[in-house]
Structure 1
């Protein structure tokens, strides 16, 4: 059991219900829980069983405010809720906020209410830094105590879920822990980070040498380490935590570190940022350039001090692991 959440797990490992295990983050959480010998209830929207030792699989057709969680919650000590409607770059839904609310707010609160009624002791919710906002000034990092300032429907839905969960925690005996990751990377990462790796791998020249931005990132193993700590740490109860690798990097530093990890030559050159912005606007890539060259920093001082947590994997080691996986996958495809 969780020893009433007054310390680390005892010899009888707790039973943890996990949602979202088919996603990038959830897949790593599942692996960590299995590796640590937790009893795991794995709830997915896909029919395939994991066949992993100690894992009890359940399937739901979809996430909504109407799901019946009685069977999967039986005997569960803690819930890690990482499933949700993810941020979508090219949204096509007629009412995006409604779509996000149905999954990220209504379904989350429904699960949390039933978990509390079933005697679950702790509910760990994987939120997003987008609750804080989209951008920071250089050296002005977001903190967990800042007033929320989401700018899109996804961020609003995560904020509303957080607020509903913390309100629920004041009414029931179940603790809530909220974790807001920044951009997560690691083996198998997709989207912009994978594109950066591929660009460095091709040896293309890039005009970012003098861009003086700062980005907080979090390696998947560092994030999962914190999530697992929050299952049982007594000081995590009813708190919000920001998480990163603890080393903020400019876009130039990111690309240079990737070049080192890929055993490639860095081909960065200086180019006026206002001309970059003009060119990006002309080709409809202004938002993409902002994600590369804008700043988004988080202050994890509270996470470190309150939980005694230190990111276990250094940035250089994390980049090396990520690059090694990329090379292995590329070799596998090319010889497939």
Structure 2
């Protein structure tokens, strides 16, 4: 039985920890994980602690690896207090990624799977006009730009050195213990507060953590994945109203939604200087995963309803 040796960065992060656990259960995979620090009891579990990627020599650890999955990153931060956020995003997400990739080439790694972001495509779509993998990138913030620059650097490196690169761009990922915007939504529903979001008719794509992990695993050795960009998603787009109702049903605590017209909410948010928050709640962001499904012979194993339910089991 041929073993595939896999090296995973960000192995104790939200996506990485779930992926690391699943990889360990595949008999033909031998996996080692990289994280910034080991939690208590992490020693001897296949995890290795290391500092900044751009300052670390990982040649020995990478030796013999067939596939490197790069899930570590400086994540999108809503209220960034860094003086120069773009410089910090570039330091971690661009310089760190390319340093790792160059070491992977030197170590003979055959495939580099990069977890990017739909923010490379942009922030919004016209309703029923979804982003596609071959669309011209249009990032609107420092995080999205850093992911695009990392993608471009990886593509150039692959062209000159022969290492295969697979790029995956997920939208918002939800699952157990997730933080950020999804966690804020669940807290509001859990408190039973009346929310003025009962008449929102936007469409947004999401992906459950287990669907994303399944897709990443498919990209490890599928021959058609080489040097491709894939958009990720559950394959079911929801309005904010539908999402809140789904979260409530999954929690067993129905959301209390008041049907206020989206135009009124947008006007009020503009007056209060909350346009960015309004965009995430009222705007659309859809992804077309047709290429992903057809080229990889893949479909999301869990529906949105199942994914939301798994968040609270």
TM-score, normalization: structure 2? 0.95
Q: Is the 8 A contact 2:53 2:100 kept in 1?
A: no
Q: What is the 5 A alignment of 1:1-336? A: 11-37=1-27, 38-48=29-39, 51=42, 55-64=45-54, 66-324=55-313
- Pair 1:201–1:92, CA change in 2 (3 A): closer
Distance in structure 2 (CA, Å) of the matches to 1:204 and 1:107: 42
Aligned length: 312
SS at match of 1:231: helix
Q: CA deviation at 1:286?
A: 2.2
Q: CA deviation at 1:68?
A: 1.0
Q: Deviations over 1:215-237 (max 9, x none)?
A: 10000000000001101000000
- Pair 1:120–1:289, CA change in 2 (3 A): same
Q: Deviations over 1:21-78 (max 9, x none)?
A: 121111111111112142112111104476588x5332212222x3211111011111
Distance in structure 2 (CA, Å) of the matches to 1:180 and 1:49: 32
Q: Is the 8 A contact 2:6 2:32 kept in 1?
A: yes
Q: CA deviation at 1:282?
A: 3.4
Q: CA deviation at 1:99?
A: 1.0
- Pair 1:40–1:28, CA change in 2 (3 A): same
Q: CA deviation at 1:264?
A: 2.4
SS at match of 1:260: helix
Q: Is the 8 A contact 1:50 1:57 kept in 2?
A: no
- Pair 1:19–1:202, CA change in 2 (3 A): same
Q: CA deviation at 1:97?
A: 1.5
Distance in structure 1 (CA, Å) of the matches to 2:255 and 2:100: 48
Distance in structure 1 (CA, Å) of the matches to 2:89 and 2:277: 22
Q: Is the 8 A contact 1:81 1:124 kept in 2?
A: yes
Distance in structure 2 (CA, Å) of the matches to 1:283 and 1:134: 21
Distance in structure 1 (CA, Å) of the matches to 2:288 and 2:261: 29
The equivalent residue for 1:327 is none
Distance in structure 2 (CA, Å) of the matches to 1:258 and 1:179: 26
Q: CA deviation at 1:94?
A: 2.1
Q: CA deviation at 1:245?
A: 0.2
Structure 2 unaligned spans of 5+: none
SS at match of 1:240: strand
CA-based RMSD? 1.6
- Pair 1:49–1:166, CA change in 2 (3 A): farther
Q: Deviations over 1:132-185 (max 9, x none)?
A: 001111101000000000011111110011011111111112100000000000
